[in-house]
């Protein structure tokens, strides 16, 4: 009797939860870069996003840009996303577009803060 009740409970929970949603790629799961940057800035986080693989890349920033210790950065890489090399390669352009938009907004706010602009 206990087994039947337990089995019925498991089935009820499975049915109530519905089907498992399709997994989304990391690039799809990131969301809106402008909204995400604004939320981070509102929390006081002015870190940039770097894409890492063989070297660090800061999309949306000038080529001569180098990170500073005051603001830092968060790195997105195949390791941090736990994806294979081929998945990383197929998603890198989407991740680059996201990071570029995010970094541009954060960089503008950093510049405004440094110049004392309201």
Cα–Cα separations (whole angstroms), residue 98 to 36, 37, 39, 85, 116 = 10, 10, 15, 19, 28
Amino acid 33: pLDDT: 95
Amino acid 24: pLDDT: 65
Amino acid 112: pLDDT: 81
Percent of the chain with pLDDT strictly greater than 90? 37
More confident residue, 14 or 73: 73
Strand partners, 57: 51
CA 91 to chain centre: 12
pTM listed for this prediction: 0.72
Instruction: Please check whether residue 67 is in contact with residue 58, taking contact to mean a CB–CB distance below 8 angstroms.
Output: yes
């Amino acid at each position: 009797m206990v087994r039947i009740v337990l089995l019925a409970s498991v089935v009820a929970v499975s049915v109530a939860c519905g089907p498992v949603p399709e997994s989304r790629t990391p690039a799809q799961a990131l969301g809106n870069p402008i909204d995400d940057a604004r939320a981070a800035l509102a929390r006081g986080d002015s870190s940039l996003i770097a894409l890492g693989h063989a070297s660090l890349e800061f999309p949306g920033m000038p080529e001569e840009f180098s990170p500073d210790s005051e603001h830092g950065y968060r790195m997105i890489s195949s390791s941090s996303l736990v994806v294979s090399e081929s998945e990383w390669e197929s998603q890198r352009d989407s991740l680059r577009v996201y990071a570029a938009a995010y970094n541009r907004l954060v960089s503008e706010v950093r510049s405004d803060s440094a110049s004392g602009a309201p």
